[in-house]
A and B are shown apart, each in its own frame.
Chain A
Amino acid sequence: MAEETLKVPTMAELTAAGESPEILFWVGCAGSFDDRAKKITRAFVSILNKLDVKFAVLGTEESCTGDPAKRAGNEFLFQVQAMTNIQVLNGYNIKKIVTTCPHCFNTLKNEYPELGGNYDVIHHTQFLQELINQGKLKFKGGAFKGKKITFHDPCYLGRGNNEYEAPRELLEKLDADLAEMKHCRAKGLCCGAGGAQMFKEAEKGNKEVNIERTEEALEVNPDIIATGCPFCNTMMTDGVKNFNKEGSVKVFDLAELVMEAQDV
């Protein structure tokens, strides 16, 4: 992927210039710090830049939504994080938030309102879908022609918030063969990272969850495993490596695939 300079305005900069963005891009901790997830962040911003979407990030004013603390049972830490973030977001009068992380998406959308944070929150796959519907986002024909792609449903996008279509509609635009796994959509199997499992060793068992899920993905012989969550991405990438398939099977976020296929 070509090196490019990204335009990433912060809310502080826009506010100083007396402007306000259409959307706030909530990057999330993985998207900010994880080397693999940063590529997803950059891909998404690259799409936004090419389409001249007026967005901003919080930059150093962004802090963890509190999702992993909440799922792990530390409600206190979660609510402190939430209240802190809500003060910042309300201070900037944020109305619409898009995020590349289903965990941030779920927390901001469902758990912040009761604490005083009311925003229109969407996942980046939904936002990209909106851009297609508005006729802004267009695709070069056949970018992924002949490639077999399987989609791994992130739990907090799918079962958690009933969004199964947006990612699949995006994949259809790529001209790829969409192959569904044995367990998909509402029956999709977790990658193993949720509920704060990402940050700890698994309990004693006979297998890792990501290996089980990767097996299901490899059963359909995909060229690409697509997902819409930085944590799923890590788990599936590790799973593919475990089967020594990293040469033939790639794990990509939908933002990365869309960036590749985008017609500019």
Chain B
Amino acid sequence: MGISNILFIVLLAGAAFLFYRNFGKIVRNIKLGKDLDRSDQSDVRWKTMARVALGQSKMVTRPIAGILHILVYIGFVIINIEILEIVLDGVLGTHRVFAGFLGDFYVTFINLFEILALLVLLACAVFLIRRNIVKIERFWKPEMKGWPASDANYILFIEILLMSAFLIMNAADTVLMNIPYEDISATSLAHYGETGLVNPSFVVSDFLIGWLPNDPNTLAFIERACWWFHIVGIFAFLNYLVISKHLHILLAFPNTYFSNLYPKGRFDNLASVKKEVEMMFDPSIDPYATPPADENPAPVTFGAKDVSDLTWKQLMDAYTCTECGRCTSVCPANLTGKLLSPRKIMMDTRDRITEVGNNLDKNGPDFKDEKLLVHDYISAEELWACTTCNACTDACPVNIDPLSIIVDLRRYLVMEQSAAPAELNGMFTNIENNGAPWQFSMADRLNWKDEN
């Protein structure tokens, strides 16, 4: 085992450990959310995941972005097979370990990977153009300033670099593998002639050969440099996921599996409120009775003021959001210039749960900062602009539900802070007093019968 194998194994183990630890923190943060049972109808859930996440069914409603995204996605999934070979080569100190097994098929596979790599590269270039030159509106909303904009560009740059490295590596390797074996058999380049491939050439990288130098040792240096850059880049990218919107490539799957399967119009009935209301309606219950000792005495908050009042699914939604802004671009409030942006609701929720998690790590479980999701991150003005129309939940390619968070925060404003807009308080009073949102007498409910 050479020094490079050991270095590789150390890097692989380090990257895996770091990812395990940081992703574990995200899972821990998601579990800070409240219970919600989404264990039912597993057959429907698998199908939803297959259709929406694996099949990208909601991406193609916007054909250009949708098709380009599918290219990058297929490229990503399939090129991972090649990464398996790279990891094996790295660990075992082999060169193109699959070539010996697959023979002619190997070249076909690499050709396929190369075509995909080229398509991914082009798609990422178009994505960069759409964001930075065409300046598509949804990428330039106020919440996209700073880190979110850089994050998106970094991801695209990294993918372009990784794909380029893969193609340049193959080009250099092609030249080396085609050197007559007797010319290199006694040198350190011998393994390039021992793959078992006969005069290999690859469909995309062949076009790059002309730009490369001729000297075999320089070529070997380029091949190794690209190989290391590619695989170390992937290790780094894996660990970049946990601080990036790009985490959607993993969480899209569980997030669509745990989708809301009810009709979108249905809002949950708050269980804490139900208990109180049932007590009002049940004359046999003594409201002054001491609650049984085993009952949890922790005070309940009606609605949500902070991330820990949200469910684990709402927090998973926040970590799954890739900030594409399709929700915001169809939001009637946002379209008409209001402050509300459903994407910002998700980004704020993620920023806040990340902050809460970091506090937990730094200061222990009893630490409370003075901040809340509502007011400190999401303003009442944003919340009151929502028409609950469900355009955002329909538009989301990974079934995120910003609306449920908006409603939970409204519940807190109304039931805990009595902070509804004055007109809505008037509407509540009317419903309470005369069973209609307007000031009409219940006795007049049937007057329409005789009016023409």
Contact = CB atoms under 8 A, between A and B. Distances in A.
Contacts of A14: none
B333 A75 contact: no
B387 A74 contact: no
Nearest to B334: A205
Contacts of B412: 73
Nearest 7 A-B pairs (CB), nearest first? A160-B265, A73-B410, A206-B337, A195-B388, A63-B435, A110-B266, A205-B337
Contacts of B332: 189-190, 192, 209, 212-213
A62 to B, nearest CB: 6
Nearest to B451: A38
Contacts of A202: 336, 338, 385
Interface string A105-122: 010011100110000000
Given A155-B390, A192-B332, A199-B424, A106 B431 contact: no
Given A83-B277, A207-B337, 8 more contacts: A38-B451, A42-B451, A66-B431, A68-B427, A159-B264, A199-B426, A206-B336, A209-B336
Interface stretch (B13-21, B132-140, B183-191, B414-422): B414-422
B366 interface: no
A203 B428 contact: no
Contact of A42 (B338, B413, B428, B448): B448
Q: Which of B265, B267, B436, B451 has the most CB of A within 10 A?
A: B265
Interface string A163-206: 00000000000000000000000110110111111111111111
B32 interface: no
A99 to B, nearest CB: 13
Interface residues of A, number: 73
A203 B431 contact: no
Interface of A: 3, 6, 8, 10, 27, 29, 31-34, 38, 41-42, 45, 57, 59-60, 62-64, 66, 68-77, 79-81, 83, 87, 106, 109-111, 114-115, 155-156, 159-162, 186-187, 189-190, 192-209, 211-213
Contacts of A63: 435-436, 442
Given A73-B407, A161-B263, A199-B427, A192 B340 contact: no
Contacts of A45: 449
Nearest to A198: B437
Contact of A106 (B266, B381, B438): B266
A42 B385 CA distance: 33
Interface of B: 61, 262-267, 269-270, 273-274, 276-278, 280-281, 302-303, 330, 332-333, 335-340, 381, 384-391, 393-394, 407, 409-415, 420-421, 423-424, 426-428, 431-432, 435-438, 440, 442-449, 451-452
A212 B335 contact: yes
Given A192-B387, A206-B336, A80 B280 contact: yes
A29 B437 contact: yes
A110 B263 contact: yes
A192 B389 CA distance: 9
Contact of B338 (A186, A198, A203): A203
A6 B436 CA distance: 23
A75 B265 contact: no
Contacts of A190: 332, 387, 389, 391
23 contacts: A32-B446, A59-B445, A63-B435, A64-B431, A73-B409, A73-B410, A73-B412, A79-B277, A106-B266, A110-B266, A114-B269, A156-B265, A159-B391, A187-B391, A196-B424, A196-B427, A199-B424, A200-B427, A202-B336, A202-B385, A204-B339, A205-B337, A207-B337
Contacts of B389: 155, 159, 190, 194-195
